[in-house]
Amino acid sequence: MPDVKKGSGKKTAKLADVARLARVSTATVSRALTLPHKVKPATAARIRQAVQALGYVAHGAARALASRRTRTIGAVIPTLDNAIFANTTHALQKALDAAGYTLLLASHEFDAEVEARVTRALIERGVDGLVLLGTTHHPTVFRMIDAHQIPYVLTWALDASERHPCVGFDNRAAAIRVTRHLLDLGHREFAVIAGVTAGNERARERVEGVREALAAHGIALAPGRVVEKPFTLAAGREGLREVLRGGERPTAVICGNDVLAIGALAECHALELAVPREISLTGFDDMEIAAAVTPGLTTVHFPTAELGAYAAQHLLARLAGKPVEQRTELPVELVVRGSTAPPAQR
């Protein structure tokens, strides 16, 4: 008979109770709960029904002690307030869930000290693996990972040192691509509204990619033509005002992501600057809203959902003792919409 929980009249269901109700062995129940793909669909369905009927919850600490695994993966991301990171996280969670793992999520709001603290908290909770976003991290993060021998993977960027496993994009190459698009249209007066580059190599690489593409055409960005802003709509508007101050107006403004670009677009509308006739705007990420604004935003598409799935596959393979690629680069695509056009004759 199921145990009676102290202090209540309710019985606490055990694994054996689920097995008895589902008419299978306890080993089959355990397998269905941890490795559902290894159980026949009909049997798995019967076990799920028994679990729901009994309100059974596996004792995570006991299971972890027996298997030396908690079947949890930790992910540390910069912020929860960004739809583009949500796409990656959603795909990561789905892939892990299908393999019987639970995702534990933490954010650090671009604060290195907070990142170190939340990473430590995840490791203390016994996560089996870690997903980190970007390649720039507090030095103690890698020391903790090494000390505890935790499988991990870096995402959204490629590790130039080739010391860390990574799944991501070449942000510099993406910036070169969008800059060349504007150069091919005939633009020669540029400005950049970048994300804050400190502690963010994605933002930094995008700015460097713009500089590299322009330098190949003998063009240098004047100091006042590059501003760094948080990734918000209001900051995009403010950034647009700043790069318009003084000197000849830029004909093309490259923004560090779609949020900044859409903020800049809103400011252009407020200032009655016609986009793209008087000024061309571009972003990065290809968020869903990029195609819905007027005019549609020229941007760079990153396969963010695929990234989450790849990151999950990488860690699951590592945990299973299978060989994995140290570096996986995902392709990016320039998406040309109505926010870019040749510059008006002056």
Where do the domains of the chain lie? Answer: 3-58, 70-169+304-332, 171-301
Q: How far apart are CA 129 and CA 123, in angstroms?
A: 9
pLDDT for position 13: 79
| CA distances to 21, 159, 221 from 146, in Å | 44, 17, 41
Q: pTM of the full predicted structure? A: 0.79
Q: What is the mean pLDDT of residues 54-77?
A: 71
* Predicted confidence (pLDDT) at residue 151 exceeds the cutoff of 80: yes
CA distance 195 to 220: 19
Q: 152 forms bridges with which residues in the sheet?
A: 130
Q: For residue 174, which of 340, 329, 343 has the smallest C-alpha distance? A: 329
pLDDT above 80: residue 34: no
| Residues 34-40, mean pLDDT to the nearest whole number | 82
Please give the DSSP secondary-structure letter assigned to residue 298.
B
Is the predicted pLDDT of residue 2 greater than 70, yes or no? no
Task: Name the pLDDT band for 82 (thresholds 50, 70, 90).
Answer: confident
Nearest one of 91, 77, 95 to 37, comparing CA atoms: 95
Task: Report how far Cα 314 is from the mean position of its chain's Cα atoms.
Answer: 15
User: Same fold for the domain at 70-169+304-332 and the one at 171-301?
Assistant: yes
- CA 90 to CA 96: how far, in whole Å? 10
CATH number of this structure's domain 3-58: 1.10.260.40
Residue 222 CA: distances (Å) to CA of 5, 211, 240: 71, 11, 15
What is the biggest distance separating any 2 CA atoms in the chain, rounded to whole angstroms?
87
Beta strands per DSSP E along 24-101: 72-77
**Could you tell me which CATH number the domain at 70-169+304-332 has?**
3.40.50.2300
The type of residue at 63 is R
Q: How confident is the model at residue 42 (pLDDT cuts 50, 70, 90)?
A: very high
**Cβ neighbours around 228 below 10 Å, total:** 18
Using CA atoms, how far residue 168 sits from 24, 95, 120, 153, 296, in Å, is 43, 17, 24, 10, 26
Asked whether 296 and 264 are in contact (CB, 8 A), the reply is no
Collapse the DSSP code of 31 into the 3-class scheme (helix H, G, I; strand E, B; otherwise coil) and give the result: helix
Read off the tokens for 75: 């992910």
Instruction: Indicate if the pLDDT at residue 346 is higher than 90.
Output: no
> What confidence tier does 266 reach under pLDDT thresholds 50, 70, 90?
very high
Of 120, 127, 137, nearest to 102 by C-alpha is 127
So what CATH class is 171-301? Answer: alpha beta
